[in-house]
Amino acid sequence: MTFIARRILGLVPILVLTWTAVFIVFELIPGDPVNLMLAGVPASEEVIANERARLGLDRPPLERYFTFLARAATGDLGESFRTRQPVTKMILDQLGPTLQLAAAGLVVGLTVGLFLGVLAGLRPGSWLDTTCTFTALAGSSLPSFWTGMLLIYVFGSMLGWVPIVGSGFDALILPAIVTGLFIAGDFARLVRTSIIDASRQDYIRTARAKGLSPVKIVGKHALRNALIPPVTMLGIQLSNLIGGAVVTENVFARPGLGTLLVDAVLNKDLPLVQALVVYTTAAYLVINLIIDILYGLIDPRIRHSRRVPT
């Protein structure tokens, strides 16, 4: 338990540090937020002064800094310049679609990646390996927005098999494939290396000596052990997945955090961008913490070492 408590406590300074950086960076953005908010609409001095007072912009920087930290911690980061809605609510509203897309993408990515990786790792150097490795590399070289458009053209426009827009399950298929391909290539390479490493182990030699069939050797012995390193890499893949979802949402004009972020940046909606930065970093840190703790539970060596091995 002390291990977990220590890790959770360790999160606090990192969060404060990150949010401090966010505060400083947003302070440095040229231009008065009220002017940005008015977006060229003429307003009297009095209105501007009132608005500044309402947003707390007339307070000294240090006071604003502590107010910001307190509000970030309590989930109240003001309202959007554009919609006048609380930004926290806007973000929570868009969380669902993005998580749905990321989860579907993860399923596609793991399936494709596992398939290619195992095929390639079975006989390193064979034509099958070359083909699968090349496919994986091609997959990670594909610009996902282009793949998205090609799929829309072929399956949506030409064949008309799936709807291009909508919120149903069938409208999720193409976006899930695009998001999945974003991580499938990397995952396939990891699985391949891992399978090759595992098949050099003694217990595989033993299994072979016992005369087990190659399929059984891979399925029962190699795969199970080979999967440990790729699975521990899921934390990193998760960030790729979110990155992929951001682009995919844009291509398929789906609602979600990615669309929200890009729109907020294009519209210079500073409170929304700021809140998105604050909460994505927080979410990201918490997820990593959970992964760290899980490793600690699985592997006692990590729990007892002072520093997390990298």
Partner 1 sequence: MTGAVTISAPVAQGRRSARETFQLLLRKPIAAVAVAVLAILIAFALFAPWIAPFDPSRADVGPRLSPPGATHLLGTDLHGRDVFSRVVWGARYSLPVGVATLLLGLVAGGTLGVILGYIGGRLDAIGARVVDVLLGFPAIVMAIMVVSVTGVGLVNVVIAVAIADLPKFARVIRGATLVARENLYVESALAMGAHPVRVMALHVLPAIMPTVILLGTLNLGSAILSTATLSFLGLGTQPPAPEWGTMLNDGRDYIRYAPWMMIAPGLALFLAIISVNLIGDRLNEIMDPRTQGRA
Angle between helices 61-74 and 2-28 (to 10 degrees): 130
Cα–Cα distance between 37 and 268 in angstroms, integer? Answer: 9
Rounded to the nearest angstrom, the gap between the alpha carbon of residue 194 and the centroid of all alpha carbons in its chain is 24
Does 217 participate in binding partner 1 (rule CB under 8 A)? no
Q: Which is nearer to partner 1, 98 or 217 (CB)?
A: 98
Does 286 participate in binding partner 1 (rule CB under 8 A)? no
Token pair recorded at residue 290: 């959970």
Cα–Cα distance between 189 and 139 in angstroms, integer? Answer: 11
Does 220 participate in binding partner 1 (rule CB under 8 A)? no
Q: Which is nearer to partner 1, 106 or 270 (CB)?
A: 270
Q: Which is nearer to partner 1, 41 or 266 (CB)?
A: 266
Contact 145, 138 (CB under 8 A): no
Considering only residues 125 through 154, tell me which ones interact with partner 1, judged by CB under 8 A: 134, 137-138, 140-146, 149-150, 152-153
Q: Which is nearer to partner 1, 50 or 239 (CB)?
A: 239
Contact 267, 279 (CB under 8 A): no
- Give the 3-state DSSP-derived string for 65-99, with helices as H, strands as E and coil as C: HHHHHHHHHHCCCCECCCCCCEHHHHHHHHHHHHH
Does 85 participate in binding partner 1 (rule CB under 8 A)? no
Does 163 participate in binding partner 1 (rule CB under 8 A)? no
Contact 181, 142 (CB under 8 A): yes
Does 235 participate in binding partner 1 (rule CB under 8 A)? yes
- Of the ranges 54-62, 67-75, 88-96, 247-255, which one interacts with partner 1 (CB under 8 A)? 247-255
Considering only residues 107 through 126, tell me which ones interact with partner 1, judged by CB under 8 A: none
- Of the ranges 32-40, 106-114, 224-232, 283-291, which one interacts with partner 1 (CB under 8 A)? 283-291
* Residues 6 or more apart whose Cβ sits within 8 Å of residue 242: 98, 102
In the complex, what is the shortest distance from the CB of residue 77 to partner 1, in angstroms, rounded to a whole number?
15
- List the one residue from 276, 279, 282, 296 that touches partner 1 (CB under 8 A): 276
Does 261 participate in binding partner 1 (rule CB under 8 A)? yes
